[in-house]
Structures are given as structure tokens and as C-alpha cells.
A and B are shown apart, each in its own frame.
Chain A
Amino acid sequence: MIFLTVGTQFPFDRLVKAVDQAAGINGFDDKIVAQIGDTSYCPKNFDATRSVEKAVFNQYFTEANSIISHAGMGTITMALDHRKPLLVMPRLKKYGEVVNNHQLAIAKKFEQLGYLLVAYGAEDVPIKMKQLKSFVPQERQPCTDIVAARISTFLNELSKSRN
């Protein structure tokens, strides 16, 4: 099963339409579950819900063999944590999908590092969906503990100075 998600904040017609068209091609036999938010395009080749509870979202995410989404960091992080093959399409400023091109920047950077696949436009989606089937993401090793420790040090010093 492929889980398609566009994130919590904005619609993403370009991605939903491209995935729907790819799913309509003869020979496509994967099941797609989709969370499409305020997207106005209605997919014809799979069922879509606008918004799902976090628990249901987590369930879809865990059950899916692969994920397709916008290049939002929430979804990217979750896919890396779960080691799920992920295909992203960056939301672009020129289409009014975001206020800046940060999704494009992070998608490029993470693509270079082997963490995910990127469809830069609708035309890339069918081929990238094929590649996604066999894509194995690089493992990422964040330093969350070090960052948390830096915050903790700051708070403890502040707390001491106030007592």
C-alpha cells in the first residue's frame, strides 16, 4: 500500500493529480490511501480523505510500503524515523503553494544525501513512483540528544541564576 499525504496546512492539487494520473496508467496495481486536506482535485483512481486523526495517520504510515508527500519536514522526519521509502514533490512559491522555496531546498539536499526521491514536477511522478518500489533510503543519524542537552544547560543556568 502507498500512503499519499499532503500535510496538515494547505491543499496540493498538483501532487494529488499527478499521482492519480500515474495510478490510472495500465498495469498499475498498488493500492493508494490518501489524505488530501483542502485539495480541490478529486482523484478517480483511489479513495481520499481530507483529514485524518493522528492515530489513523500513524496507522496508515506504519502499514504503508512507501509514502508519497509534499516536501514537508514533518512527513520527511517521520519517513526517515520509520525507514519508509519516500517520494516528495516540493511545494513551489511560483504556484502559490508556499511562501518561499524552502521545500525545494530541503528536497534537493536530502535527495543528494540519499534519504528520499524527488519529483520536481508532475511529469517526474510516474517514473519516480516506479523507482520508489525498490528505493532503500540511507539511514539518518541525527544528534537530537546534543541539541536537547544544549537547551537543558541553558535552562539550568538560567534557573540557577534566578535562585
Chain B
Amino acid sequence: MRICLAASAGGHISQLLKLAAGWNGYETFCVTTTGVVRNNLSELGEVYVVGECNRQHPIRVITVLLRCGRIVLKERPDVVISTGAAAGCMLCFLSKMIGAKVIWIDSITNVERISLSGRMVRYIADLFLVQWPELADRYKKVEFVGTVV
């Protein structure tokens, strides 16, 4: 099985990296948003950098979406594991379209409600983890097993 590890630079990727024991033994590749963190990710297989985007910059969203689409078609992951944010969300949807399973770990910073990306991915996720027990009570199909950080 080929696993796509997708997370924006900063807190998203640092939370994802802590879970490396979870995919031990599987073939992985990684998608992130800035090149600065590239050297940190060398153990995760091929690293793709798609650039930053958020909903305030629609043109950049399209650019990043196209880049993510190209990666998915080339790599054809069986599973996507993401901690967010926007780029991770795109990779989840695009990979689901080619039949991949989706694992989403919502960032610990989402204290009061699940992130916008997470709320969208929830509909297609095969495993959806949150880091506050209150959130697991509030949303269906959402699990709390513990905190990553």
C-alpha cells in the first residue's frame, strides 16, 4: 500500500510527523506547502511542495489544487493521512476520487469546533480523529483516542 502524508508547514506537519509509528513499514510520500521544511521530511519518501493557500486567495487555491491533482494521478495513493489544512483537504478529496481511503487527524488547535477543512473531509473520511474529547461527543463519525501533542 502506498500512503500519501499530507500537511501544511508549521503545526500541521509537526503533528503529523509525531505519528510516524502509525505507518511504519508502509511505502510513503509526502506533500507539504513550503520548501523550508523539506529537509525534515526526507525519511518520508518523495517530498512534494505545492505552495501555501487559503480561502482569501482563490487563484492560489486553484494553482495548489492543480498541483495536488497532478501528484495524485502520478502517485496513485491507496491511503491519505492528513492533519490539514487546505492542501491536505484537497489531497483527501482528490485521492478519494481514485478510490483511496482517507485518514484525517484534526489539529489540536481546533478546540471549540472542527476545522473548516476537517468539517468537509468528515463526509468522506474512513477514520477521523480529533484531539479534544468534547469534539468527539459533538460530531458523528469522529473519534477521540488521545492527543498527538
Contact = CB atoms under 8 A, between A and B. Distances in A.
Interface in A74-132: 74-78, 80, 99-100, 102-103, 105-106, 109
Contacts of A158: 1, 78-79, 101
B52 A9 contact: yes
A142 interface: yes
Interface residues of B, number: 50
Interface string B16-54: 001111111010000000101101100000000000101
A102 B54 CA distance: 15
Contacts of B34: 8-9
A134 interface: no
Contacts of B81: 151
Contacts of B23: 151-152, 155
B146 interface: yes
Contact of B36 (A8, A102, A150): A8
Contact of A155 (B1, B12, B15, B115): B1
Interface stretch (B58-66, B67-75, B90-98, B105-113): B105-113
A21 interface: no
Interface residues of A, number: 39
Given A8-B37, A144-B18, A151-B22, A80 B149 contact: yes
B20 A148 contact: yes
B109 A103 contact: yes
Contacts of A55: 39
Interface in A43-80: 51, 53-55, 72-78, 80
B112 A77 contact: no
B110 A102 contact: yes
A72 B10 CA distance: 7
A112 B135 CA distance: 19
Interface in A131-163: 140, 142-152, 154-155, 158-159, 162
B116 interface: yes
B136 interface: no
Contacts of B101: 158
Nearest to B143: A150
B19 A144 contact: yes
Interface of A: 7-9, 51, 53-55, 72-78, 80, 99-100, 102-103, 105-106, 109, 140, 142-152, 154-155, 158-159, 162
11 contacts: A7-B10, A8-B34, A9-B34, A73-B109, A77-B15, A144-B19, A144-B148, A152-B24, A158-B1, A158-B78, A162-B1
